Amino acid sequence: MTGNLLIVLFDGLAFGMLLFVLSVGLSVTLGLMNFVNLGHGAFGMLGGYVALVVTREAGLSFFLALPAAFVGAAVVGIACERTLFRRLYRSGELNQVLFTVGLVFVATAIATFLFGTGQQPIQIPDVLRGSVEIGGLRFGIYRIFLIVVALAVTAALIFGLEFTRFGASVRAAVDNQRVAQGLGIDVDTIFAITFALGCGLAGLGGALAIEIVGLDPTFAFHYLIYVLIVVAVGGLGSIGGSFLAAALLGIADVGGKYFVPELGSFLIYLLMVGVLFWRPLGLFGKR
């Protein structure tokens, strides 16, 4: 029983780390520009399909597919930001929601047109297959890899935000945009770069996700909900909050489906509504 519990905890943590990589970009961009981008999941899906094409059509290694997914999603992200999203920064939540929901509909339809509705498998390298045995319990190597990647991303983000000039500008802009602008920080450019990075991370998350949850055109919407839960519960603009919320959500989801499968996703929705009722700004939200 404790063995099962440990495995569930481990799997949940790995799933949570996946959710973290998928969502952290949205948390930062939402905190920065208050732009409610429900299309974030679509960028994750895009990364997934890029990885698929790179490994399957071009025959390249999965390890090359990951950066390709990042770059692909980042490029499309910045293109959308510069041409479309920026028109909506001042036009209210509802318009942002509707526009980006429209984007999800379009992305889903395009994915269906190009790849069909079926689940797409991905070829991962042999070193990531199988599992290691520790104390009589078997831990999947791919899941260990996921946790390592997520920790590396977290470390890079924290380093980037805390110790670089760019990071300081981003933090200043999140805290108070007008003051930041007054200090001569180019908030517009900062946002474009951050948005690209956020979409890139979502793309990376999408590529990493295929092995665990598969990939089909419903990905954009299905994982959007997880992403939004992480962002809302963690608190806007809080990397630590997102990390913790993602870990909690991953464990609650895997644990819930393992121990009380008949309730499906009911538990996590209940958890989210409960947390937001208790703390509308999320666990670590400041504004």
Partner 1 sequence: MADPSANQATIAGTQAWIRRQGRWSPYEIAFWIAVFVPFFFFPTYLTLASQIAIAALFALSVDLILGYAGIITLGHAMFFGLGAYAAGLLTKTGWGEPLTGLLISGAFVALVGFVVSFVIVRVQHLALLMITLGLGLLTLELANAMSWLTGGTDGLQGVSVWPIFGTFDYDLWGYTAYSYTLAVLFVGLLIARRIVHSAFGLSLRGIRENLNRMPAIGAPYQRRLQVIYTISAGMAGVAGALLTQTTSQVALDVLSFQRSADVVVMLILGGTGRLYGGIIGAIIFMVARDQLAGINPQYWYFWIGILLMIVVLVMPKGILGFLAQLWERIRR
Q: Residue 19 Cβ, how far from partner 1 at the closest point, in Å? A: 15
d(CA 137, CA 1): 12
Closest approach, Cβ 237 to partner 1, in A, equals 11
Residue from 239, 205, 176, 234 nearest 28 by CA: 239
CB nearer to partner 1: give 2 or 83.
83
Closer to partner 1 by CB, 208 or 232: give it: 232
Position 274, amino acid: G
Chain residues in the site for partner 1 (CB under 8 A): 30, 36, 84, 87-88, 91, 93-95, 97-99, 101-110, 112-113, 117, 217, 221, 225, 228-229, 231-232, 236, 262-266, 269-270, 272-273, 276-277, 280-282
Write down the least CB distance from residue 85 to partner 1, Å: 11
Phi then psi for 139, rounded to 5 degrees?
-110, 125
Nearer to partner 1, 184 or 280 (CB): 280
Separation between Cα atoms, residue 51 and residue 200, nearest integer Å: 12
Q: How far is the CB of 167 from partner 1 (least distance, A)?
A: 24
Q: Which is nearer to partner 1, 65 or 232 (CB)?
A: 232
Residue 262, helix vs strand vs coil: helix
Closest to partner 1 by CB, 63 or 266: 266
Largest separation between any pair of C-alpha atoms in the chain:
60
The residue with tokens 């190597």 is: 141
DSSP conformation letters of 224-257: HHHHHHHHHHH-TT-HHHHHHHHHHHHHHHHHHH
Centroid of chain to Cα 167:
20
Q: How far is the CB of 42 from partner 1 (least distance, A)?
A: 10
